[in-house]
Amino acid sequence: MKKTKILYLILAVSLLAASCKKYLNVVPTELVTQEAVFNNIQNAEGAWSHLYASLNNNDVQFVRGGGTILGACTDECKNHWENVPELPFNSGAWNATSNSLDMWGRAYQYIRSANIFLANIDKTPLPASRLDYYQPRIPQYKAEARFLRANQYFELFRRYGAVPLINTALATTDPAATNAVRNSIDEVVGFITSECDDIATSLPISYPSGSSDYGRITKGAALALKARTLLYAASPLFNGNTMYAGIRNADGKQLFPQTYDNNKWQLAANAAKAVIDLNAYTLSSPNPSNPVDNYAQLFFTRNSDEIILPLVMGGNRDFEGNYMPNGRDANAVNGNGKMSVFQELVDSYEMNNGRPISDPQSGYQETGFWNGTLWDGVRNTPVSNVSNMYKNRDPRFYATIFFQYGVWNYANNARPLRFAWFGNNGGACDGWPKPGTNCETGYNWRKWADPQVNLKGGGNANRNFPIIRLAEMYLIYAEAMNEFLPAPNNEVFDAVNRIRSRVSMPGLPIISSDNSKEGMRKRIQNERRVEFAFENQRFWDVRRWLIAKNVDNGNMHGLNARPAPAELNATGLDPNSEAAGVAVFYKVVVDQTRVFLDRHYLMPIPQTELNIDPALVQNYGW
């Protein structure tokens, strides 16, 4: 059978199994393709290659415009298009039968595929003429398959907590396939981290960006996954959380640890330090004289020595088309502007003196306007009548969020951005006044956008998605050490300041509370928020910190981009004019009310799996 047909059958069966969402689905793929696959090394390599598709999970699909967008399920933003999959998460109206972020069946199908590969690859005959080529590669193929399996367990762990560990290729008649029990949190974490340790010695430290092997699993990726896993295990959600005391297997086995263990933070810190000490990665700094561009380029550059684990992507303009501002006049950007960014995220960016905007000494002003220059992605461009709210902020703010009278590649889009109401506009408004599609808060995404893409002309972006990057290791180290120690030390400050220095932000400590564990915890949490905005970290962070019920529950805010007719008329200006819209724009209003309950901290095991496997116990509250 030809290789292409073999791979087609593997893919077809995998997709069928994933769509059925059966626990550890036992569709007999081995009866259809297994013998043919593992009797030919090239076909076996195809099976190994297919495992890499597991990296393209729902978390990264937003770059192509698909899937449930995690940022829109947090206090970062709202997907304001109609009938989007984020709405049930925003309202709390999702459950064990309607979770668009469920990946139980998909993950276990990949785990099964990895198990089959690992059980058979050593039996695959090698051509005598190619022994020198394949014999050193087989151990690396196995190590990569084990990493990809461990990564699927991590994705299951952060969604569901305690999950079954199935690491043999079960026969179709094996009762273990439909009678599996959940392993404890400590067992799941122990398996992931031990796999990472064991395979690290079989993997190269890294691949040079731009090489043909770039994107393959490395020692750095294995150790980084270990660090990320240990950080989650040390966090309040999984470390002595008494809310989960009642989640036990039928035999009484406790699945979630009930005693807080401070030493778990030390383990996470040590693991992150091990990645840093490889000296294989560096923080991206392509334009240090321009802190906005220095940060922004990481998200529209294909290769970077900061990225530890990339998802390699082809050239496209999908992100720009979906997320860029959507004005329709001749000088507009011409995107579809599908995300409305919340004021909560905007307010999280410090002033460039390093003080939060709530600090009386920060210099932040909510009133008044300024004229000056802003980086438009290509050059510094003059701007005028920009609100003082956007003056002298953390450079990452300008690289991440579009705001009223900001600019974008002015040579191609020769007008400032307009998010205030502009009713009689002929398309000259980026808050395009069409119900269900217009920007609701006065802010759009800018991060990820490539200034070389002209949506009215040509050009594709050439980016990879950074699944794990070095900045995360520094912030894991800082967070873990801060929690382990009674108060932050210079190592904690130094780790955070390495991230801040890339964008010319002042080093910590700055205010007196920075010297306390609690004060530095707030700083580190906010540093993660702004550094990883729209990178799908916030969704998981607020859960593992057990703060989601505070920050993702209740009213979310924006500016007054959709004023009532009475407000516009009260200005005494033409109510359809830009001037009237601007006059009532700079007022913080409620855009959406969110619901987050205790049960939402973990996802429910899908009801279909509970129906198939009576040994599974459901998560808290579901």
SS3 string, 68-117, reads CCHHHHCCCEEECCCCCCCHHHHHCCCCCCCCCCCCHHHHHHHHHHHHHH
Comparing 136-140, 169-173, 358-362, 606-610, the range with the smallest average pLDDT is 169-173
522 closest CA partner among 499, 502, 496: 496
CB 206 within 8 A of CB 218: yes
Q: DSSP character for 38?
A: T
Looking at residue 83, its pLDDT comes to 87
What lies within 8 Å, CB to CB, of 483 at 6+ separation is 234, 262, 265, 517, 521
- Distance CA(481)–CA(110), nearest Å, equals 34
Predicted local distance difference test score (pLDDT) of residue 431 = 83
What sign does the CA torsion over 305, 308, 312, 313 have?
negative
Distance CA 164, CA 162 (A): 7
pLDDT at residue 484 in the model? 98
Q: Provide the pLDDT for residue 9.
A: 31
Which H or E run includes 351? none
Task: Report DSSP state, residue 402.
Answer: E
Kindly indicate the confidence band of residue 221, based on its pLDDT and cuts at 50, 70 and 90.
Answer: very high
Min mean pLDDT across 182-191, 215-224, 331-340, 479-488 is at 331-340
Cα separation, 243 vs 253, in Å, equals: 16
Q: What gap in Å lies between CA 131 and CA 380, rounded to an integer?
A: 57
Distance CA 269, CA 474 (A): 9
State the pLDDT at residue 1.
33
Distance (Å, whole) CA 200 – CA 195: 8
State yes or no: pLDDT of 30 exceeds 60. Answer: no
Give the model confidence (pLDDT) of 472-527 as tens digits: 999 999 999 999 999 999 999 999 999 999 999 999 999 999 999 999 999 999 99
pLDDT digits (tens, 9 = 90+) for 72-93: 999 999 999 888 999 999 999 9
Rounded-to-integer distance, Cα 289 and Cα 404, Å = 26
User: How large is the average pLDDT for residues 118-130?
Assistant: 95
Does the pLDDT at position 605 exceed 90? yes
d(CA 531, CA 205): 25
The CA-CA-CA angle for residues 123, 126, 132, to 5°, reads: 125
The lowest-confidence range among 169-173, 215-219, 287-291, 439-443 is 169-173
Three-state SS at 371:
strand
Q: What is the pLDDT of residue 563?
A: 94
Higher-confidence position of 477 and 318: 477
Q: Which two tokens stand for residue 480?
A: 């873990």
Does residue 42 have a pLDDT over 60?
A: yes
- pLDDT given for residue 458 in this prediction: 86
- 208 class by beta-carbon count within 10 Å (0-12 exposed, 13-18 middle, 19+ buried): exposed
State how far the Cα of 466 lies from the Cα of 307, in Å rounded to an integer.
6
* Distances from the Cα of 89 to the Cα of 1, 92, 594, 595, angstroms: 46, 5, 8, 8
Instruction: Give pLDDT, residue 436.
Output: 57
Query: Per residue in 160-206, pLDDT tens?
Result: 999 999 998 876 567 776 789 999 999 999 999 999 999 999 999 98
The pLDDT of 578-590, averaged and rounded, is: 97
Confidence of residue 585 (pLDDT cuts 50, 70, 90): very high
The residues, ordered by sequence, that sit 6+ positions from 386 with a Cβ below 8 Å of its Cβ are 369, 370, 371, 372, 374, 403, 404, 405, 406
pLDDT of residue 8: 30
Encode 321-347 in three state secondary structure: HHHCCCCCCCCCCCCCCCEEECHHHHC
Q: What is the pLDDT of residue 35?
A: 82
Residue 27 exposed, middle or buried by CB count within 10 Å (0-12, 13-18, 19+): middle
What are the residue ranges of helices labelled H in 161-212?
185-200
321 vs 25, more confident: 321
pLDDT at 64: 65
> What gap in Å lies between CA 620 and CA 242, rounded to an integer?
11
- Residue 559 has φ and ψ, to the nearest 5°, of -85, 170
Return d(Cα 23, Cα 40) in angstroms, integer.
Answer: 29
pLDDT for 28 equals: 39
Average pLDDT score over residue span 254-265:
98
What confidence tier does 11 reach under pLDDT thresholds 50, 70, 90? very low
Question: What sign has the CA pseudo-torsion 386, 388, 391, 396?
Answer: negative
Averaged over 520-542, what is the pLDDT? Answer: 97
Q: Are 607 and 97 in contact (CB under 8 A)?
A: yes
- Per-residue pLDDT band for 255 (boundaries 50, 70, 90) equals very high
Mean pLDDT on 539-555: 98
Q: Is the pLDDT confidence value at 158 over 90?
A: yes
Cα distance between residue 144 and residue 45, in whole Å: 12
Q: 347-390: per-residue pLDDT in tens?
A: 999 999 999 999 999 999 999 999 999 999 999 999 999 999 99
CA dist 517 and 482 (Å) reads: 6
Q: Six-digit token pair at 205? A: 């430290």
> Is the separation of the CB atoms in 239 and 260 below 8 Å?
yes
pLDDT in the model for residue 491 = 98
Q: Specify the amino acid at residue 422.
A: F
CB 546 within 8 A of CB 234: no
For range 116-138, the mean pLDDT: 95
Average predicted confidence (pLDDT) for the chain: 91
Q: At what angle do helices 185-200 and 137-160 cross, to 10 degrees?
A: 160
